Chains A and B, each alone.
Chain A
Amino acid sequence: MKIDRRSFLGLGLGAAAGVAASPMTWKLTDDISIWTQNWPWTPVPRDGEVTFDNTVCTLCPGNCGISVRKIAGRAVKIEGRGGYPVNDGGVCLHGISALQYLYDPSRIKSPMVKKRDAWKTVSWDEGLALAAEKIKSLRDLGRANTIACVAGSGEGTIAGLYRRLLMAAGSQNFYTMDSMDKTWKMLIAEMHGFDGTAGFDIESSDYLLSFGTGFIEGWGSPVGNFMANSSRKDRNAKLVQVEYRLSSTAAAADQWIPAKPGSEADLALSICSVMITENLYDKDYAEKSGKNFDDFAKLVTEKYAPELITRTTGIDVPKIKSLAAGFARAKAPLAIAGRGRGDAAGSMMEFAAVHALNCLAGNINKKGGFWMTKDADTMIWPSLVMDDAAAKGYAKAAAGPGGSPDRLFDALTSAGEDETPVEMLMVYNANPCHTLHDAGTVRSAIEKIPFVVSFSPYMDDTARLADLVLPTHMFLEMGEDIHGCASSVKKVTALSKPVAGPLFDTRHPGDAVIMLAKAVDGSVRASFPWESYEVAISEVMGDTWDILAKDGYIKCASQPPAFRPGVDFKLLVGYDGPPAPLGDKKKFPLILVEMDHMRLTSGAVASSPFAVKTVPDTILKDNDILVEMNPETARQTGVSPGRMAVVETPVGSARVKVNIFDGIMPGVIAMPGGLGHFGGDNRYIGGKGVNVNELIGPVIDPVSGLDAAWGIRARISRA
């Protein structure tokens, strides 16, 4: 056949039409779309049998019961544990996100040693030997007292083991991070002569007078507080929030009292004065069984009458009187101090002034009131073996007095060139380089320590400065005893248990310390007779262990304690106000405060990707942190919304973005806490924003010796 142009074209067209009409085209079109529905780079989760495992969340002191849903053995979802006394099914966003902490690829996957600023992976034996060698040599040199340890909290058997290691080695330098609980404990001792912990029966109180306490920002046991807050409507209970900023708690409150920052204690005393002058107090408790009541009454009625303090607080007389009436007439009034999330110790005097209200109302150890409970000391530790080196070292005073890490780092900062008060530091469950005030100085102090060991699962702001990291399990991979439910009257002792992994070459923090002690040998080894943490906890917890192992948790009866210690107002008689924030008023006309935000963690663990995702762009925008201020403040300082500005304080400065909010008092600026983490390879939180603790310096409370800072004087200008 002759192929001319015409037939060629004809054939071509025919072929095209044929192909188009053939099933192949349709099949291909279909196949291509099916391919787009099954892109190999879109994961297909594996299916399998569904099981549930219960444990306890330790991401914050709330210690909620959680239930982990597993599919074919792999943890896929965390939910609240129904019926658990703390949270009854509810759960906060951080707890739900815990699987992101578990599967986080930026976790420390094995022990590492820092050599000339570079990390080198080592085995556990090598790592432990290195740490043990250091302890041994310091003991041999008679400098056992220069071994220090900072732990998140002092409760539980794991913290007990770390404390024990220090004692066995011969050092008093064991520190736990400050929190309001420490201050309350001291206050109870001071005013009631009682050794115990404070509890607030929030869920039964019908009138909560809160002095800046962030029930809804994550104070105490967050989920429990949310539940209590929700039940207020049904119980007809009131919440009055004293705060210079319309926080979520203030917004949830029935009444918001925007007293000037720093004047909270004055306001509390003024309410006391009204209660006393108008005879609105519990005479039997406060006056008859109380000590130094008359001096206290004289002080408040003479110096803190409402007329005298409206200027300092900005709250007018009728309002103060109505607060006093409301508080005093309530069936179960409860006054609470401990600002924001209660992460900071706070001022003892401020706590005392607030607590005076509870004492005047007589609502002590009663339903809906303030409870003092004895710490149930159920642990039985075998006696320590202390050799000569240990005894000598232990006889020497701690570097930082009062067990406050602030004082420890203070001592390091102020030590001379040739002094080394701390030769070795161990850090467990704490991130002081991020969470302590004036974090920059803390960092420099830690850099001065010749040998730092971190027991962190994550490359956090402190671990990055360590010389050795001995990575521990994250909480879902381990079991421990939990003594918890911070600040609540519902005391729950629980046993968490491993529900996943371990995914990497990590160890239980209890096992890690036991292994370390054994590697040190001698009397230190002898003080740790257990084979493993599991053996240790079962022996140390004694009878409690058996119940915990069987039931998972023990709930103490939520009945108010039967006894009712008396009150001594002596501390308050010498009241001359809480310590002022750092800084010169002329140079720094504004006050910078940290604001806690429920969607950001502020403790040792940085926020998860999920949590960061929920953070509004009025807090974080790209990598910039936003500072909140009243439109009036912006006008006066000449900064504009959405634009960059520089915040300066006596201890630091930072570039920030400006966010305008009507609900904050003019003259006060607020920065969210929980940002500015190092984060290592974790780009979901690492490097985002600024750590507000770099801008706020510590203020040592003259009474408690703890850090009482809640803010600092500041100025802001256009960047």
Chain B
Amino acid sequence: MDSALIPEGARRCPFPVFAAGIAVASAVLLWGVYAMGLVWIKGLNQTNMNDYYGFALWIWADLAVIAIGGGAFFTGLLRYVFGIDELKHIINLAVVIGVICYSSALLILAIDIGQPLRGWFIFWHANVHSMLTEVAFCLSLYFSVLIIEFIPLVLENRQLDKVPFFHNLGHNMHGIMAVFAATGAFLSCFHQGSLGGVAGVLYGRPFAFREGLLIWPWTFFLFTWSAAAYGPCFTLTVCKIFEGVTRKKLVKDNVVDLLAKISGWMIATYIIAKIIDTIYWAGVTVSDMGFSFMHFYSDNAFYGVWILFTEIVICGIVPAILLTVKRFREDKKLLILAIVLGTIGVCINRWVMVLQVVAVPVMSFDTWALYIPSWQEVATTILPIAYGIIVLSLAYRYLPMFPQEQELYDAK
């Protein structure tokens, strides 16, 4: 039925099956859109946020999708700037994930602000001291870059490619992609960092505050590093999910192995930095502010040392070991465990850097504040997932997302 659009030679499921799948995802998407509409029309009272929880589920979702979308810039950097050619076989996937993650992030921001119609004030009345201003600028610019990186892939669609203009455009864009990828990598390094800066500059919030270098708190560097380290884990996770769902091998083991190994070493170095940061923070920074380490992990029903342990040990040290040691990495199950743990790890990090920050009492007579999101918040947070599934499915079905697909099929 839609065979004319499907890449030549590619084997795809029958259209009705595909359509049914898309319909299910769309239903979830519509639920999210409904919640989004409620929020836009009735305002943020639709959420369970409050004056203690000015930032909550959405900002976490925002930071998390940007972190796991970090596979795009980092793979781009490796492929185009460091010239690691094998990665061209997975870069398309990384870029599509990046586009999904970043567009989701922008959408969530548009829902999250109290006056969406004035959102552009962030550019017009920009405050250069604000990390959020830096985020807004870098985020939008990088999103444009991602679109530019995405367009050539779209133009490779069988029908579009027939149009000579698009064909030539795609071809030429490929030629200059290295420039964009480099720009993108630079921008991305910056906004990942700025997002870390958002928390790190909060000198009124001891849990978030970090000293640093020049105007940048350590979290600036840690966020960039962790996005680069864990982003590929998510790219690989999505890749594995694709392979599982389609029951096809789509990317060659050496490519996966290479990316996993790089990711592993990045995680290893990151987690060392993170541990040093945590020790310095606990021993010097908050101590100077009059707090003990346990202040941040006791006297409440949720945040205990377990969350730090999970983030650093289970979702940091463990995947670092699994991915750096060849023997483990080559074990399919351990590889999957490692990349899933890695993805969770970076999400936990973003969670604590948003939610635990505001949950912790700062004034000596204040109390812990815990919060449970409303269904509208949950629905709008699930929305990007449904949207991502739809975009990925469409991209997979109609675009040559996995260059090695045919080769691997033929080899079978």
Which residues does A use to contact B, with CB under 8 Å?
5-6, 29, 32-33, 35-37
Contacts and interface: CB of A to CB of B under 8 A. Distances in A.
Contacts of A36: 115, 117-118
Contacts of B121: 33
Contacts of B117: 32-33, 35-36
A33 B120 contact: yes
B23 interface: no
A33 B163 CA distance: 41
Nearest to B165: A6
Contacts of B118: 33, 36-37
Interface string B112-141: 000101101100000000000000000000
A6 B120 contact: no
A33 B118 CA distance: 5
Contacts of A33: 115, 117-118, 120-121
Nearest to A10: B165
Which 10 A/B pairs are nearest by Cβ-Cβ distance? Answer: A33-B118, A32-B117, A36-B117, A33-B117, A36-B115, A36-B118, A6-B165, A29-B120, A6-B163, A33-B121
Nearest to A31: B117
15 contacts: A5-B163, A6-B163, A6-B165, A29-B120, A32-B117, A33-B115, A33-B117, A33-B118, A33-B120, A33-B121, A35-B117, A36-B115, A36-B117, A36-B118, A37-B118
Interface residues of B, number: 7
A35 B116 CA distance: 12
Interface of B: 115, 117-118, 120-121, 163, 165
A204 B120 CA distance: 63
Nearest to B121: A33
A14 B118 CA distance: 27
A5 B166 CA distance: 12
Contacts of A5: 163
B15 to A, nearest CB: 24
A6 B165 CA distance: 8
A20 B300 CA distance: 51
A37 B117 CA distance: 10
Contacts of A32: 117
Given A33-B118, A33-B121, A36-B117, 12 more contacts: A5-B163, A6-B163, A6-B165, A29-B120, A32-B117, A33-B115, A33-B117, A33-B120, A35-B117, A36-B115, A36-B118, A37-B118
Contacts of B163: 5-6
A5 B162 CA distance: 12
A36 B117 CA distance: 7
**Centre residue among B118, B121, B165 by max chain A CB count within 10 A:** B118
A42 to B, nearest CB: 12
Most buried by B among A5, A32, A33: A33
B168 to A, nearest CB: 12
A208 B46 CA distance: 53
Contacts of B120: 29, 33
A6 B167 CA distance: 12
Contacts of B115: 33, 36
Nearest to B118: A33
B352 to A, nearest CB: 27
A33 B122 CA distance: 13
Contacts of A35: 117
A33 B115 CA distance: 9
A6 B121 CA distance: 37
* B117, B120, B121 — most chain A CB neighbours (10 Å): B117
Nearest to A29: B120
A33 B165 CA distance: 39
A640 to B, nearest CB: 15
